Amino acid sequence: MGRTRKSLRKKQNKNEVPESTPDQDRVQQNLSPDLEVLPNIINDSISGSHINAEWQNTEFKLTILILGCQTLMLIFLGIESWKVWFSRFTEVADRKGWNKDDRLDELLQRLHCQAGDFAYGQLPRRARQDYDLLIDELNSRYRVIETSKTFRVKLSNRNQHPHESVEEYAAVLKRLYDQAYPASDRQTRREDLLRRFLDGLQDDTARFQAEYNKEPHDIDEAVAHVVNFVETKARL
């Protein structure tokens, strides 16, 4: 009988879930629930294909685990938009009244992953001791020069993303179109945007209903028809 109880205790111990350590709890508190939506946060400034590749990178995962999502938004990894990140950094620096030495100190500790490899592995030490020189190097490495031609390519390839609302999709198309064709007349803009919006819709049925049954005048009318169709279909 004693041996049976002893063996049962062993089996129970074997099936018990081990308690988490304080360090694991602290990491979990930092990550939950923001970690689940992290790709969506970063996706605003980098392409989906690039983030998927980086998401598999061990160093990238470790950076997230160590720093947590809130801190992650304050660092530069080298995969997001440098222009957007640096504009945010500069505005914060201006508000806090940082001088160039302060900005250099803050910037150096915010360069991680690809950006950290570039700054600490490829640049000479003198570049990391001069704020203006470091910014010049980072601009040369990460600044993307976009022309009207670049935006035209983006516009022609831009379709509605999964889980992207039709309103969001239309807003992106308008922004890209104005950057791609700044001198376009109103009628051409109206016709082009309407065609691109309809061609890029994910819901084929909604597109057919909007295009052939409603015959919208412009992209805004098309958005309203699609939203109304989707909501009506959901109620059935």
Q: 158: which DSSP letter? A: -
* Distant-in-sequence, close-in-space partners of 45: CB < 8 Å, separation ≥ 6: 80, 81, 84, 85
In tens, the pLDDT along 145-159 reads: 778 999 999 999 999
Pair 138, 152 in one domain: no
Q: What is the pLDDT of residue 158?
A: 96
Return the closest-CA partner of residue 108 out of 136, 76, 139, 82.
76
Number of folded domains in the chain? Answer: 2
Report the 3 state secondary structure along 99-119: CHHHHHHHHHCCECHHHHHHH
Q: Which of 19-23, 79-83, 199-203 has the highest mean pLDDT?
A: 199-203
H or E element at residue 51? helix 48-55
Task: Among 118, 144, 170, give the residue marking a domain's end.
Answer: 144
Q: What is the pLDDT of residue 55?
A: 41
In tens, the pLDDT along 58-106 reads: 444 444 444 444 444 488 999 888 988 999 999 999 999 999 999 999 9
Pair 119, 182 in one domain: no
- Total length of the chain: 236
Question: DSSP readout, 109-154?
Answer: TTB-HHHHHHHHHTS-GGGGS-HHHHHHHHHHHH-----HHHHHHH
d(CA 89, CA 38): 20
CB-CB contact of 80 with 50 (8 Å): no
Domain assignment present for 54: yes
CB-CB contact of 201 with 225 (8 Å): no
Higher pLDDT, 202 or 23: 202
Region of poorest pLDDT, from 52-56, 198-202, 204-208: 52-56
Q: What is the mean pLDDT of residues 212-220?
A: 93
Q: What is the pLDDT of residue 69?
A: 45
Pair 196, 166 in one domain: yes
CB-CB contact of 75 with 106 (8 Å): no
CB-CB contact of 39 with 51 (8 Å): yes
CB-CB contact of 210 with 169 (8 Å): no
Domain assignment present for 49: yes
Domain assignment present for 192: yes
Domain assignment present for 33: no
Q: What is the pLDDT of residue 63?
A: 47
Residue 228 domain boundaries: 148-235
Q: What is the pLDDT of residue 61?
A: 47
Is the pLDDT reported for residue 18 higher than 90? no
Beta bridge partners of 111: 76
In tens, the pLDDT along 101-130 reads: 999 999 999 999 999 999 999 999 999 999
Pair 181, 230 in one domain: yes
Q: Determine what percent of the chain is predicted with pLDDT higher than 90.
A: 59
Higher pLDDT, 35 or 93: 93
Report the chain's terminal Cα–Cα distance, integer Å: 64
Is the pLDDT reported for residue 11 higher than 80? no
CATH number where 221 lies: 1.10.1200
Domain assignment present for 30: no
Pair 47, 140 in one domain: yes
> What does the block give as tokens for 163?
């889980």
Task: Among 107, 126, 144, give the residue marking a domain's end.
Answer: 144
